[in-house]
Each structure stands twice: as C-alpha cells, then as structure tokens.
Structure 1
Amino acid sequence: MRTSSPNFIRRLASNGRWTCSNCRNHIPTAASRSKSAAATQQPTARHYTTGSSRHSRRIPKPPRTRNGILTAAATGAAGAGALAFTDDIKYGYEAVERTGRVAGALGICINDYRTSLNQRDNTEDAAERETILKSCHKRCAERTLDVLEKNGGIFIKLGQHLSAMTYLLPYEWTSTFIPLQDQCPVSSYESIERMFREDTGEDLRDYFSDFAAEPIGAASLAQVHLATVKETGQRVAVKVQHPQLAVWAPLDLALTKFTFSTLKRFFPEYDLEWLSSEMEISLPQELDFQREAANAARTEQHFARLPGRRRHRMPLVIPDVLWARRRILVMANESGHRLDDLAYLDAAGIDRDEVSAALAHIFNEMIFGRDAPLHCDPHGGNIAVRRRQPRGSNNSNSGAGSGTKTTVAERISGWLRWNQLPNFEIILYDHGLYRDIPEDLRRSYAKMWLAVIDGDMAAMQRHAQDVAGISAEEFPLFASAITGRDFVSVLDPATSAPKTKSVLSPRTRAEKKEMGDALQEGLLSDLVQMLGRVPRVILLILKTNDLTRSLDESLRTRRGPARGFLILARYCARTVLREQVDAARDRPGGLLRPANAARLLAAWLAFLRVEAKLEVFELWLEIKRVLGFGTGIGAGAGGELEVGGAGAEAAVASALQPRPLSVHA
C-alpha cells in the first residue's frame, strides 16, 4: 500500500522543532532540571573491566542531548518520507506511462484513419480503395494490440471483447485481437501470497497443505492455482484476482472512456461510448468473486430443477464453491479439455454433434428459460469438455484414452433412449458476468426468432421493434447482427420469402467476405449507431450468441447449423406457450372458465404438434448423419422428406406453419 507522503512532509514542515511523542514525554521541565543538576554533582564510584565482576567499571554513556534526539528523529522521518516519495514517484511514472501509451496510439490511429480516408476518397479504383482501408485497419489494430498487451489488466479484457465482435468490427481488427484470448499476464506467487494474507488474515500454508506456485491458467482478470485443503485433503482450484487490478482499474476505466469519447469527437458516426459504459457496469461485477460464487450457485440450482429429460440433454457441470472473498474463490477442481481439442473428442469417443447440441440446449435455456440467469462470457477459455466420469471418480483424470468410439447402432439407440445421459460433460467456468432478461423481452425475442426461421418479414420487423426499438429500415442490419449472417441470405428482397439458402445453412467464405465488404462500404457506421440505442441486455445477448456461434464452428460438426436452429425453435415455441398459459390463467375466471380452459388446451395442442415435428426432424438429421447422407433435410414434391443440404430451413418452416400457437401474435 502506498504511503501518503505529502501529509507526512506537511507535518514536518509545520513544526520547526519537531519532537516524537515518546521523547516529548521525557523532556525535562524546569523543576526536574534543577533536581537533575544537583544529582549530577554527586560523585558516583563505578569500576570498569572487560569481565563480569561485580567490581567492574563501565564507561558512562555520553548524555543524549536534545539536538541528538531531534537529529535522529529527523533522519528517520526523512528516510520514511523518501520511501513514500519513491512509491509515489513509481506510481506516478507508471500512470503517466500507461496514459501515454493510450493517448499516443489513439492520436496516431486517428491521424492514420483521417489520412487513409482522404486518400481513399481521392481514389477511383475500387480494389485500391479497399486495400487502402484494410491496410489502415490492420496497422491501427496492431498498434492497439501492442498497447493492450503492455497495459494488461482490463485492457486485455477489452481486447477479448472486441475480438468477439465480428458482427461489428472489421476482420482486420477482430483477427488481430485473437491472441489476447490465450496470452494473458501472470501475477507472481509472492504478490498472490500478500493478497491472500491481506484479504483473509491468514497465510496460504494455514489453509492449504500445498499450493502450486505456477498457475494452471491465467485470464485477463485472474489466474487459477491448484491446491489441497489442509483439513480435508480435497484437491481444489483457487481463483485469485491479479493484485494490480485494484491499483489500475479506476485509471484504466477512465482511459477507456476517454478513448471512446475522443473517437466520437473525431468520428461522430462511430459512437462506441456505449461499450465503455457497459464496461463501467460489468467490470465491478466481474471483479467481485463473492458475486461470482452466488451466480454459480444460482445457475446450478436452476438447471437442477429442470425436468429429467430436459436436464439429461444438458450435461452441465458447475464447480462447487467452497468459499469466496472479493478477490479469492476456492472451488472444486473440475478439469477438462478445450472444445476445439478435436483430437481428444475423437479419441474419447465423444460425438462433436452431440456436444454442439448440448451447448445449444444449455445457452438457449439460459436465454429462454423462466427466471434463468444468462452467462454472458462463454468464450473458449471458459468452457471445457470431458468424458463422463462415474460417481465418486477423480474428475481431474480425464485422459484421451479413457473412452472408446461409439458405433452407429449405439448412437441411434442412445438417441432413442431419451433419458439416457450422454457420455460427456460440459464444464462451465467464470460466472462473473451475468444478466437477467426481463420476461417480456424474452417473449418478444422468442417470437422474433421464430419469425426469422419461418421467413415472416412482417413479424420479424414487428418483434424487432418490441425487442430493441428497431425500425423497418434498420431491421436488415439488425437481422445480420443477431444471426451472424448476411441478411440477403435470409430473405429474397424481391418477394420477402425465405431463400433456398438461409440461416440454417452453413456460412461460406464468400458470405463472410460479403459481410466484411458491406462493413467497409459504410454499413459499419449505421450498425454502430443502431447498437448504441438498443437495450444493454440485447448487446450482451448478441455477444453470447456470437461467442456460442464461434464455439460451434470450432467443433466442425457434420450437420451444420440446422440442428442448432431446430433446438432454438423448440425453446422459442416453449416460451410462447408459457406466455399463452400465463395469459389464460390471468384472464377473469382463471382456468375454471371454459373459454380460458379451451384457449389453454389449444395452446398446448399447438405446441405439442410443433414439438413432435421438430423431434421427427431432429431424429431424421441424426439418421442421415449416421448413414453418411447430406446435412440438410427438406420437403420434396408432395410434402415428402428429401435428402439434401438445401432444404433444412423449409423443414423447420413447415413445422411452424400450422400454428394456432400464434407465435407471432
């Protein structure tokens, strides 16, 4: 902790003849001085020798004069002040250095963009115009990356967030920031020891019989060490916050706010102040590990309450929390492998498509489940997978050779046995950033997604207005943001009907390039301004959607996104059913009134019809995959199912067509 040296020096300056309190109590008064003088005149016989004889004589110490006392005290005070000044000077230097990095890079990037944009406007060749802007993006992204890495702390967190905003930022920016997902600073063992002592009043060795000096993982805000609890012998993971965050977080937040406000001043059409505002809200929550412990417990309780069949589709593991302080979290050690460790998945006999489906169930439950908490930071470092362990086994030992590959018959029979648990578990870490979605927003969001899947343009626009205040003109851009797809691949602009290739088909490189080019051509400023007006929880939902979409693509599934949208449609339909059930119960007379009971029955029948069709289509996808056919299903002539990659969206749309369920009401 830094000493407040200015106050210390102020006390020195206020007393020309400063004396410490101990010496002040022993300064002789006038009366005592006269007695002392008389006493000193009496001779005292003392003997000196080098031995211990009782007759030995000691050399009398010279009297400590008042000047000597003042000199010693002043010397000590000067030393303490120098140390305090040293801390203040060091802190001030580092603060200036951090600020200078941000301000310097910001100024250079602003000038680079202004120069490049002027150069682009004076160029006729389209290819050269594109090259000029992309080169500027890349240069500025690399400068910014250097600042983020050197400053560390919440700047790493900011870079991770920006790397996931593929729906908003050019590819040159998001791809440049990808290394920040894994390259995070590591705090020293000594600093962790000091912080543990400050926060708990105990040493690490008082609670743990062993504590690994090297962390098993480091993130932007914290790092994790393995340890063993002394009393119980339990192997645990200890999450500790980087101690320097407490020092630099206020300054770093101010610098982030300054950066985005400056960008807005020079480029008003690119208003990203909403991003710094969201960080000001979310960062204190992420830095409070006691809040994280409460979020983890609440999420575990929510999924434990689900009916058996739904719960079995979500093999979710949340590490139990033993205890938590604001900067320290001790939890059970639940280890696994990254989702993109495809070699492990294949060797352990874990079906990638089933992992993808489980992820879809987990996060759709978080978005659409009643009173469900939403985990808003599901990037690759916060999710792990492992082969299911028998009860009582050591979860930390989940090697690649622990499983065997499943046969075709086993996969089909396992799918048909609805209550059978999958052969893997998904571990969810880092529960610091959570949000609650209001029920009315959740219902409108569900209806909007059903409209997107069904290709109902009027319903899409109506519910987008309910969800985020999006106008009809802004809707194509908003649809691209929520789906991660080029909007022209969703609807035919001429007929507003679903195109053969829609959101259910895999994204191609050509489509990704088209979306990037569209951002280069001016849509970026429109998207930035639109996102600045939508509710903050919608921004976090967009972030969650984008991160889970990225996770799903990293699995390289063989079915494409079709099954994920089937699962999404099921949760949306269930949400709409819940709204209609609540409406029937709240009507005058309640369910005892025949008209209300009839409405409730009709809603249930419509929902069951949709649910049954979606089940059939999902089973058909599984059979096709096992037999080695294409990834899509479609309705052929006469309504018969046909194999092919272009008709999955038609199948889902047909499942939702006969809907007294009134999904767009």
Structure 2
Amino acid sequence: MSVSFASVVGVTATGTIGTILYQTNDQFRQAIQALERCGTAGLVGARVALDYRQTLAGSYGSPEEREAAKSACHQRSADHVLWGLQKLGGVYVKLGQHVSAMVYILPPEWTSTMAVLQDKCDPTSPQDIKNLFLADCGQSVDQIFDTFDWVPLGVASLAQVHRAKLRDSGSNSSGLGEWVAVKIQHPSLDNFCRIDMDTVSFIFDIVKTVFPEFGFEWFAEEMRESLPKELDFVHEAANAHKVEANFSDDRINRRTALTIPKILWAKRRIMCMEFIDGARIDDLAYMEHHNIDPREVSLEMTRVFSKMIFLDGYVHCDPHPGNVMVRPAKNPKRSKYNFDLVLLDHGLYRTLTDELRTDYARLWKSIITSDEDGIKKYSMRVGGTDVYRLFASMLTGRDWDAIDSADLGSSRSEAEFKRLSEGAIEFFVDVADILGRLPRSVLLLLKTNDLLRVVDEQLNRAASDQKTTYVVMGTVCTRAVWLDTKQRLREQLAMVGFDFKVFGELVRSWLSFQTLEWGLWFYEKYAVWAERISKLKAARLTL
C-alpha cells in the first residue's frame, strides 16, 4: 500500500508540533502526562482483573491447589499494583498506604506488599523545590535559610522534610538562626491530584459494575474528602495547635510525654517547624541505647490516642511508625517519663460527635469486658450493623474466641492470623457491607486502630501479652462513659429538680465507675511492677 508524500509530511509535522508543544507548553505537557497516568492506571487495573478472572475460573485437582493458585494470583496482582503505584506516585501511593492498613479485609499478600509504601517514595528535585519557594513565598531558599540540607530527612507520598537553619536577624524569638524542619509538598500533586482522584473513582465504578458485590466505592469518596485537607499545610498547622491545646493541662501536670513540634509558619505547600531529633517509634535499638522501655512507650501511646478518641473526640488518623518519634526527655525534671513521644504529620484529623465518641467508648468498654449484649447494642449504634461479632473482630484485629474469652491481651498466634485472613475472604461481602454503612469518621478510626495495633505489637515484641495496653484503654473508656452519664443525669436533675431516683442512679453510676477504674488502675500498677521484678530476676540469673 502506497503512502502519499502529503501524508508523510502531515504525520511528521504533527509529531514535530506535538514535541515542541510538549517541551514548551505546560498545559499541553500536563494533558499528555495526565493521559499517560490514566493509561498506566487503566492497564494495571485491567491486567489484575484479567488475572483474577482466569485464576478463579480455572479447574484444580484439589482445594489446596485452588488456594495455592489464589495466593499466587494475590501476590502477582499486588506486585503489579505496587509497580503502578510507585510509578504514578502521589495520590496513588497514598491509596496503597490505605490498602496496607486494611488487614481486616485483604489477604496478607496484598497488605504486606503494600507496606513498603509507608517508607519508600521518590523525592522532589532541588530545582522544583526552588521554584516552589519562589511561587509560594516570593523568596528564594537562600533568602529564607542560612543553611538548607538538600538531602531530605524523609520522603512521604505527599511531602518531604528537610533540615535547615533560618537566617538570623538578631532575634531568636521566632526561631531565627535556629535549626528547623521544613515540610515541602510535592509540586506535581497540584497538576495531577484531581485527575488522579477522578481516575481512581472511575476504576472503582468499573469494578463495581463488573462485580456488584464489590462494596469499596466509599474508599475513593473518603480519599476525595481527606486529601484536600492533607494538602493544605495551613490546615495542618491549625490541627497541630489544637491538639497541643487539648494536651496542655496534661503537659503542665506531668501526665503525658506527648510533644508536638512548634509550628513557626505555614503556607499552603510549605511549613516551617521546630526541628526535633529522635528515632521512629519502632526503632527498638535506639530505645535500648537510650534506656527507654518500649512497653512504657507503648502504654503512653495508648493513653494519648485513647484520650484523643474517647475524651477529646479529636483524633490524629495516620499514626503509622513514620509519623511518631521517640527521644530522650528534653526536660526530665518536668516529666515523669524519661522519653518524649513526638507526634508528626497533623494533616489528617477527624472530629467525633459527642454521641459517636461516647457510643464508641461504650462499645470498646463492652469489648474489653466481654459484654456480648453491649457489643451487640453499640455495634448497631456505632456501625449500623447487627453482624456484631465480625465488627468486633474488625475493630480489634482478633477473632471472636479471643474477644469472647476476654483474652485480648494475649499475643496473636499464627493460627489466629490464618483464621482472620480466611475469615476476611469468607465474609468479604459482609465486611464490604459493614464498611459501606460506616460513617467516614469510623472508617478512619478503623484505620487508626490497625496502625496503633501494629506499633503496639512491635513495641511489645518481647512480652508474652499486651493486657496492660487494654487496661489503659479500658480506663479511659470507663472515664468517658462516666463523664457522659454524669452530664446526662445532672441535666435531668436540673430539669425535674431533686429526684431520689435520678440521684440514686447518679451515685450508682459513680460507684460503678470508681470501682472499675480503681480495679483497672491497680491491675496496671501490678502488671508494671511484676514486669520489673521479672526483669530483675532474669538479670540476677544471668550473673
């Protein structure tokens, strides 16, 4: 077949013009890159869907062969998706991080493969950082900082952090002349965030059409709601100030080790804050070197997040190990702890209504005390589900036998992990239905539970159980329930005047609260001392 000279010239001219536009026109280049990103996401999705369809439709000689084929398909698919997420970056990496936390839903091949996304992300180039400062601050990096370390301290899906030193103008009242941490958003997010979210939503819609039982379209909706807040560092700074205020009394009265880095200033995509030197909360070698007890760190983290959830109703919803640091106490005389628990990345918070906060406290109190009637009642109030045993397992990461026997403090065995994984697949539709009904705040609480549980297990690796963790949590739940009951009964007394029946209920509620709180306090102290005595005995035996 002959090709006319005019056709050749036309194709060549089109290619030349396209190349020139790609190199010189930002809008044209972004449009082409957006199409490439959509194409990559679509191809990965199609490849995974085809692999699952062929695997599930295959014939196998035994149930064991079928399970082995499914496991291999899980791993292949997770590897394909991981490659796509790392290639696309930004929003897609954030999506993978959410997936890695969904241990109550997805097979371990998926969650373990996606776990690497919590740490490994590509950094923004120095030139792009320079351009960002000029665009957002109207000044160059050199005009703001005396020293700027171009090698980032850490790189996450949405931002990276650099160490720098502010130019000294003769006063240190605002941190001038001091070392600071500078959080810088990846500039590419502005170009592709919206199109990426639209693509994710489209893919989820297609999956829902092909597989009607798929119940995770809320996933894209949650990211669409949360991401704009996470991408606004002015909003993040406000969150940090609020949580600092919530814990101010605890800091004054030496009741907490929580430390929030001081925010010096914030723009939408750049934030300058106090520099804090320390280590990730899962760095056990660092804690041993500084004589910090990992179990004490675990208990303090439980106290901090229990207060956030059950008392304040204002919750940091991304406490993965990269966002929580530990260091030796900066002011030992002002703290009863020999360490500081440093909480970073305040972009993702949820405010709980008083009703949800207290119902959630009652649900956890019921779970900790193995009160099945209470679990049933408050599972419906919190999650809108009557499949309360499954919901309790999703909250705790434990199977029903451990919950029913009040054995939450025991370490999870390999057999229990296997039962949970098999149950997640067996009850996939029920799990999807529960998640589809949950308020967005509860969905993030589930994610927060999973992240906290992982940290707790890592810090208690040498321990045979984590009973004290649940004792601490139960104490805060009990206090939240009492405070709510006290307020309700006092309001009744204010409306009807003095009433012996209401007053009697108030006294009984107080006695019930005090009895349980005192019992939990005694057990906590007993467990701490028993652990210390056990360590002393072990040390003497080694001498």
TM-score when scaled to structure 2? 0.90
Q: 2:522 aligns with which of 598, 609, 616?
A: 616
1:213-257: per-residue Cα shift (whole Å, max 9, x none)? 121111100011111111321111110100111001011111111
Matched with 2:295 is: 353
Structure 1 runs of 4+ aligned residues shifted over 6 Å read: none
The question of whether the paired residues in 2 share the 8 Å contact of 1:236 and 1:333 is answered with yes
Matched with 1:297 is: 241
Determine which structure has the larger helix proportion and give its number: 2
* Alpha-carbon separation, structure 2, partners of 1:174 and 1:294: 32
* Alpha-carbon separation, structure 2, partners of 1:83 and 1:170: 42
Q: Which letter does structure 1 place at the counterpart of 2:330?
A: Q
Matched with 1:464 is: 379
* Alpha-carbon separation, structure 1, partners of 2:28 and 2:485: 65
Matched with 2:56 is: 117
Matched with 1:324 is: 266
* Alpha-carbon separation, structure 2, partners of 1:382 and 1:294: 17
* Alpha-carbon separation, structure 2, partners of 1:348 and 1:558: 20
Over 3 Å counting, the alpha-carbon distance change for 1:488 and 1:118 in structure 2 is: farther
The question of whether the paired residues in 2 share the 8 Å contact of 1:585 and 1:591 is answered with no
* Alpha-carbon separation, structure 2, partners of 1:297 and 1:240: 19
Matched with 2:345 is: 430
Q: How does 1:65-214 map to 2 (within 5 A)?
A: 86-119=25-58, 122-123=59-60, 125-214=62-151
* Alpha-carbon separation, structure 2, partners of 1:118 and 1:82: 47
Give the secondary-structure state (helix, strand or coil) at the position aligned to 1:369: helix
Q: Which letter does structure 1 place at the counterpart of 2:270?
A: I
Q: Which letter does structure 1 place at the counterpart of 2:391?
A: F
1:397-433: per-residue Cα shift (whole Å, max 9, x none)? xxxxxxxxxxxxxxxxxxxxxx961100110000000
Alpha-carbon shift at residue 96 of structure 1 (Å):
2.1
Q: 1:524 aligns with which of 409, 420, 428?
A: 428
* Alpha-carbon separation, structure 2, partners of 1:341 and 1:554: 9
Alpha-carbon shift at residue 612 of structure 1 (Å):
1.1
* Alpha-carbon separation, structure 2, partners of 1:228 and 1:443: 45
Give the secondary-structure state (helix, strand or coil) at the position aligned to 1:329: strand
Matched with 1:600 is: 506
Give the secondary-structure state (helix, strand or coil) at the position aligned to 2:411: coil
* Alpha-carbon separation, structure 1, partners of 2:336 and 2:492: 40
* Alpha-carbon separation, structure 1, partners of 2:35 and 2:22: 20
Over 3 Å counting, the alpha-carbon distance change for 1:307 and 1:315 in structure 2 is: closer
Over 3 Å counting, the alpha-carbon distance change for 1:223 and 1:307 in structure 2 is: closer
Over 3 Å counting, the alpha-carbon distance change for 1:178 and 1:434 in structure 2 is: same
1:88-117: per-residue Cα shift (whole Å, max 9, x none)? 443233222211111111111111111111
Matched with 1:446 is: 361
Over 3 Å counting, the alpha-carbon distance change for 1:148 and 1:168 in structure 2 is: same
1:563-607: per-residue Cα shift (whole Å, max 9, x none)? 111011101110111111111221143697263554433332322
Aligned: 1:364 with 2:306:
yes
Over 3 Å counting, the alpha-carbon distance change for 1:420 and 1:390 in structure 2 is: closer
Q: Which letter does structure 2 place at the counterpart of 1:508?
A: S
The question of whether the paired residues in 2 share the 8 Å contact of 1:263 and 1:271 is answered with no
* Alpha-carbon separation, structure 2, partners of 1:579 and 1:554: 34
* Alpha-carbon separation, structure 1, partners of 2:416 and 2:341: 31
Matched with 1:70 is: none
Alpha-carbon shift at residue 619 of structure 1 (Å):
1.5
Q: Which moved more, 1:181-190 or 1:83-92?
A: 83-92
Over 3 Å counting, the alpha-carbon distance change for 1:456 and 1:210 in structure 2 is: same
Q: Which letter does structure 1 place at the counterpart of 2:430?
A: D
Q: Which letter does structure 1 place at the counterpart of 2:528?
A: E
* Alpha-carbon separation, structure 2, partners of 1:124 and 1:482: 37
Matched with 1:487 is: 400
Alpha-carbon shift at residue 339 of structure 1 (Å):
1.6
Give the secondary-structure state (helix, strand or coil) at the position aligned to 1:184: coil
1:343-364: per-residue Cα shift (whole Å, max 9, x none)? 1111211011100100100100
Q: 1:475 aligns with which of 388, 395, 398?
A: 388
Alpha-carbon shift at residue 123 of structure 1 (Å):
3.2
Alpha-carbon shift at residue 85 of structure 1 (Å):
5.9
Matched with 1:237 is: 181
TM-score when scaled to structure 1? 0.74
1:357-377: per-residue Cα shift (whole Å, max 9, x none)? 00100100110113x410000
* Alpha-carbon separation, structure 2, partners of 1:82 and 1:247: 17
* Alpha-carbon separation, structure 2, partners of 1:298 and 1:587: 32
The question of whether the paired residues in 1 share the 8 Å contact of 2:22 and 2:29 is answered with no
1:624-652: per-residue Cα shift (whole Å, max 9, x none)? 212229xxxxxxxxxxxxxxxxxxxxxxx
The question of whether the paired residues in 2 share the 8 Å contact of 1:443 and 1:576 is answered with yes
Q: 2:441 aligns with which of 537, 541, 556?
A: 537
Aligned: 1:587 with 2:495:
no
Matched with 2:222 is: 278
The question of whether the paired residues in 1 share the 8 Å contact of 2:409 and 2:467 is answered with yes
Q: Which letter does structure 1 place at the counterpart of 2:397?
A: G
Give the secondary-structure state (helix, strand or coil) at the position aligned to 1:430: coil
Q: Which letter does structure 2 place at the counterpart of 1:383?
A: V
Q: Which letter does structure 1 place at the counterpart of 2:421?
A: G
Q: How does 1:298-313 map to 2 (within 5 A)?
A: 298-306=242-250, 312=255
The question of whether the paired residues in 1 share the 8 Å contact of 2:259 and 2:342 is answered with yes
Q: Which letter does structure 1 place at the counterpart of 2:44?
A: A
Alpha-carbon shift at residue 504 of structure 1 (Å):
2.1
Q: 1:546 aligns with which of 444, 450, 458?
A: 450
* Alpha-carbon separation, structure 2, partners of 1:83 and 1:184: 26
The question of whether the paired residues in 2 share the 8 Å contact of 1:225 and 1:239 is answered with yes
Q: 1:341 aligns with which of 280, 283, 286?
A: 283
Over 3 Å counting, the alpha-carbon distance change for 1:589 and 1:561 in structure 2 is: same
Alpha-carbon shift at residue 532 of structure 1 (Å):
1.0
Alpha-carbon shift at residue 182 of structure 1 (Å):
1.1
Give the secondary-structure state (helix, strand or coil) at the position aligned to 1:215: coil
Unaligned segments of structure 1, at least 5 residues: 1-77, 393-418, 492-497, 630-665
What percent of counterpart residues are identical? 37
Matched with 1:257 is: 201
* Alpha-carbon separation, structure 2, partners of 1:280 and 1:558: 40
Q: Which moved more, 1:436-445 or 1:89-98?
A: 89-98
* Alpha-carbon separation, structure 1, partners of 2:83 and 2:22: 32
Q: Which moved more, 1:229-238 or 1:244-253?
A: 229-238
Superposition RMSD on alpha carbons, in Å?
2.2
The question of whether the paired residues in 2 share the 8 Å contact of 1:339 and 1:383 is answered with yes
Q: Which letter does structure 2 place at the counterpart of 1:505?
A: S
Give the secondary-structure state (helix, strand or coil) at the position aligned to 1:240: strand
Q: Which letter does structure 2 place at the counterpart of 1:379?
A: H
* Alpha-carbon separation, structure 2, partners of 1:432 and 1:576: 29
Alpha-carbon shift at residue 485 of structure 1 (Å):
0.6
Give the secondary-structure state (helix, strand or coil) at the position aligned to 2:136: helix
Matched with 1:390 is: 331
The question of whether the paired residues in 2 share the 8 Å contact of 1:584 and 1:590 is answered with no
Q: Which letter does structure 1 place at the counterpart of 2:451?
A: L
Unaligned segments of structure 2, at least 5 residues: 1-16, 170-175, 536-543
Alpha-carbon shift at residue 549 of structure 1 (Å):
0.4
The question of whether the paired residues in 2 share the 8 Å contact of 1:269 and 1:525 is answered with yes
Structure of higher CA gyration radius: 1
